[in-house]
A = this chain, B = another copy of it.
Amino acid sequence: MTGFIIQNPTLEQCLKAVKMGIGARRLLIMLGELRVDYFGRGSSELDYGERLLIVKGDGSLLIHRPTNVEPVNWQPPGSLYRAYVKRGLLVLEAYRKRPEERVRVTFRRVSLVGVYHLKDGAEFKLYTAEEVMKKAFIKRPDLVEKGLRVVMEEKRLKAGLVDCFCVDSSNRPVVVEFKKDRAGIEAVDQLSRYVDELRRGNPEVRGILVAPSITKEALERVRSLNLEYRRLDVRRCIKVLESMEEPIKPLEYFES
């Protein structure tokens, strides 16, 4: 990470850093006493207060107050900027053409200005609750049944995509389906369609529905169709996944 930071910059230092940072598409961070005026779809005013301002390399603008996740004012990527000094105050304007919007930030005092070049090429991977259950199951199939082995992490059938295709300790094929919430009739019917398709080739095929709970009606259907149900919830799966890593030393949480 390359960059620089200036504490209590002069007006000239600050203007130069702002223009350089935005012009070079760097991350600009400023802490200071500022007011914000917005004109566009309606308008807004926020009188002077101590806040954090961020301009990102793509032109996004964020102005953060001392509390809350949401920025109090913001502009999307692609905003245009100008910065100037007026009556001894530093003004930074973000402008957007369509829809026409302008955010004007007026600094009465700047405590910190930083310009950094961040490198970040990582891919954000998001897993649904059912994918988390499946991940834990793949690492620890005994969560569902001792002796199970995962053969295929997914299997495409005419009836759809099976979550996990396994064999049990007696080498019988097993279809495993995960539901993050209480399983109902639809979940049983879905599993049943997969198992039916496979039982045409091998009547020994088992089907296991894995969910945190099941309705009475669904459990009856499970039994009548010669399927099975195992209780497992996402929370337990998360604990299992976390425990696969080297244990961290226990520490008390402290309140912010």
Contacts and interface: CB of A to CB of B under 8 A. Distances in A.
Interface in A49-91: 49-52, 54-62, 64-69, 71-72, 74-77, 79-82, 84, 86, 91
A170 interface: no
Interface residues of A, number: 92
Interface of A: 1, 3, 5, 7, 19, 22-23, 25, 27, 29, 31-33, 35, 39-52, 54-62, 64-69, 71-72, 74-77, 79-82, 84, 86, 91, 93, 95, 100, 109, 111-112, 114, 116, 118-129, 131-132, 135, 234-235, 238, 241-242, 248-249, 251-256
Question: Copy number in this complex?
Answer: 2
B256 A57 contact: yes
Nearest to A75: B69
A53 to B, nearest CB: 12
B254 A49 contact: no
